[in-house]
Amino acid sequence: MPRVVVDVVLKPEISDPQGQAVLGALGRLGHGGVTSVRQGKHFVLDVEGTPDAAQLREIAETLLANPVIEDVELHLDPTPGV
């Protein structure tokens, strides 16, 4: 069964308070080499048959994300169930 991974992150121009909090914590813990953190959402969809990219994009942009403030990336997982 094909597996599709949908990653949703805030657009670069949108403030990310949670990412900023993680970045601050990393600095306090001595991990000063990290210069930016963006938090997001990760969805894994198991689909029957051949995934339909247009249908999956519609699902992602209408249900899983707010396209006004979030970007969506779709990835076909080549090793589902591993």
Q: What is the pLDDT of residue 79?
A: 67
Give the pLDDT confidence score for residue 20 in this predicted structure.
Answer: 97
Q: What is the pLDDT of residue 1?
A: 82
CA separation (Å) from 81 to 42, 45, 50, 56?
16, 12, 17, 20
Diameter of the chain measured on Cα atoms: 48
**pLDDT reported for residue 16:** 97
pLDDT at residue 23, as a whole number: 97
Q: Which helix (H) or strand (E) holds 42?
A: strand 40-46
pLDDT of residue 81: 58
| Regions of the chain where pLDDT drops below 70 | 78-82
Query: Which residue ranges form the domains of the chain, and what is each CATH number?
Result: 3-77 (3.30.1280.10)
Phi, psi of 64 (to 5 degrees): -90, -20
The set of residues, in sequence order, having a beta carbon less than 8 Å from that of 61 and lying 6+ positions away, is 67, 72
pLDDT value for 60: 95
Number of other CB atoms surrounding residue 56 within 10 Å: 18
Tokens found for residue 13: 């121009």
